[in-house]
Structure 1
């Protein structure tokens, strides 16, 4: 049964056209596109959108496979995401846009700017994987044997309990301070966006597609050759994509690297004020130059 479920998930993602879910907010002459990370959704930006929305029109997206977007996705994954975002920007008639991405969203943002530089005015890449080799832990955690073992182990586990457990694990891995006020959004988002056990378990094949997509990209070279102004930002205590090599990789390059102290993988949640202090001056300057 477990193997059939994996096969069915793969067939579904191939046969249906993926779609984004888009939330439009804020106001301003310039537009900002916000792209979340793996197993996350657009609610990850809720602590910073009030400030960003006073200056920019915001497009906060759920990527296919996550949140309220279609549960299916296309292969290859990241080029498929890029084309959906290109269509969104062109349909909205709002380019070039400032783009902020976190984790998988940062990789997607970088790929978007590399493929369609006229659509992007500036890039903020927060806690982006792929600068160094992907951690072995990621590959083991998202492997097919791990998925099959979890499917078997969770057969008697109620969906609501599984959602809460994964939400707690994700919050602990992605944030330095997962119990701070307002951070319950990270945990409770699993109740809303992963209401069915199959959706939770579907993160495994999607995660393997993510790993393949990241591994196939020359991310370090793409950053160095980025055709648009680019900021790289990390949380000091990111457990998922450690910041320790970020500065050394780009020493001397014309790329701004910011490390936020006492912060984890999602600085927009852990340290929203410091995140905004770093991001807003950078983006504002590039919007003025583009205008």
Structure 2
């Protein structure tokens, strides 16, 4: 009897789940100013950007998955002052205030890199230093490989260096399941649900910042499930080896207590590739937020 009831419930729910999956999958969003930025109109997806001080060759900041330009606020202005360079923070496709298209290809390594390259061309930028956090480090790697003449230096921050060297929160995996996933994703705007996933982006004792909730809630379902930048790269050649082979100065930073991209195996992987990371004591996955002074002390000499 119980089995029949269960089967009946499943049969009744399936049409609704299917319709919800279609509607969620079609969700898209136009670009709009966010986090103090302004929209840059492009032929591809329009991007939200924010510039800070300086006139020297730009430093371009690329945030991580489910993040936004707001994650750079603790360090962006100070970095511009310390280096005497212009600093440009970019919301990646589907994140923050940037356009969220329906096409999943726009969220992969090639799509994100193409969007950043187009944005820099529209800004008249000829040479940059790229600083990428987590997924943004994968985008920086793809940009440097696609447009080597554009990139002078690269900094990657807690960007896992090979396949399998990350630990995705369970909810992050579940929301991408067929049919059921889009229904679960409806709960993403509930802070109590978000907190358990967002905490992995920081050390266990670091309070999740308010802007982390806002950034996560800006993502469409496509952005959540098709932001595959580093997986795309690692599928054919590990990011650590790609960075080591760029022929450009590369700095790798890592938070001592990172649980999202665990510190010990990633540090070892980069060291094996010849890029031993600088470990920032006391930080989790996001050193520029958790330990901004230590972050700036590590990157400023490299970028000045």
TM range (shorter): 0.7 to 0.9
* Farther-moved stretch of structure 1 (247-256 vs 275-284): 247-256
Structure 1 residue 250 displacement after superposition? 3.7
For 1:80-119, what aligned pairs fall within 5 Å after superposition? Answer: 80-119=111-150
Task: Report the counterpart of residue 211 of structure 2 in structure 1.
Answer: 185
Task: Report the counterpart of residue 31 of structure 1 in structure 2.
Answer: 58
SS of 1:231 mapped into structure 2:
strand
Residue 172 and residue 30 in structure 1: after superposition, are their counterparts in 2 closer, same or farther (change >3 A)? Answer: same
The correspondence for 2:105, drawn from 75, 82, 99, is: 75
Residue 94 of structure 2 is aligned to residue 65 of structure 1: yes
Is the contact made by 1:18 and 1:74 (CA closer than 8 Å) also made in structure 2? no
1:153 and 1:185 mapped to 2: Cα distance?
22
Aligned residues: 269
Q: Based on CA coordinates, which of the two structures has the bigger radius of gyration?
A: 2
Task: Report the counterpart of residue 141 of structure 1 in structure 2.
Answer: 172
Q: Provide Cα deviations, 1:201-245, integer angstroms capped at 9, x if missing partner.
A: 4444334x4465244341232022122110111101111111202
Is the contact made by 2:162 and 2:234 (CA closer than 8 Å) also made in structure 1? no
2:184 and 2:266 mapped to 1: Cα distance?
38
Task: Report the counterpart of residue 245 of structure 1 in structure 2.
Answer: 265
Structure 1 residue 53 displacement after superposition? 2.2
Structure 1 residue 81 displacement after superposition? 1.1
1:189 and 1:74 mapped to 2: Cα distance?
19
Structure 1 residue 178 displacement after superposition? 2.8
SS of 1:118 mapped into structure 2:
coil
Residue 128 and residue 256 in structure 1: after superposition, are their counterparts in 2 closer, same or farther (change >3 A)? Answer: same
Structure 1 residue 139 displacement after superposition? 8.2
Is the contact made by 1:163 and 1:200 (CA closer than 8 Å) also made in structure 2? no
Structure 1 residue 151 displacement after superposition? 4.4
* Structure 2 unaligned regions, length at least 5: 1-15, 29-42
Q: CA RMSD of the aligned region, Å? A: 3.0
Structure 1 residue 100 displacement after superposition? 0.4
1:215 and 1:143 mapped to 2: Cα distance?
22
SS of 2:156 mapped into structure 1:
strand
**TM-score normalized with structure 2 length:** 0.77
Task: Report the counterpart of residue 43 of structure 1 in structure 2.
Answer: 70
1:211 and 1:5 mapped to 2: Cα distance?
28
Residue 188 and residue 18 in structure 1: after superposition, are their counterparts in 2 closer, same or farther (change >3 A)? Answer: closer
SS of 2:71 mapped into structure 1:
helix
Task: Report the counterpart of residue 164 of structure 1 in structure 2.
Answer: 191
Residue 217 and residue 11 in structure 1: after superposition, are their counterparts in 2 closer, same or farther (change >3 A)? Answer: farther
Residue 147 and residue 134 in structure 1: after superposition, are their counterparts in 2 closer, same or farther (change >3 A)? Answer: farther
Structure 1 residue 148 displacement after superposition? 4.2
1:154 and 1:135 mapped to 2: Cα distance?
21
* Farther-moved stretch of structure 1 (230-239 vs 245-254): 245-254
Residue 9 and residue 117 in structure 1: after superposition, are their counterparts in 2 closer, same or farther (change >3 A)? Answer: farther
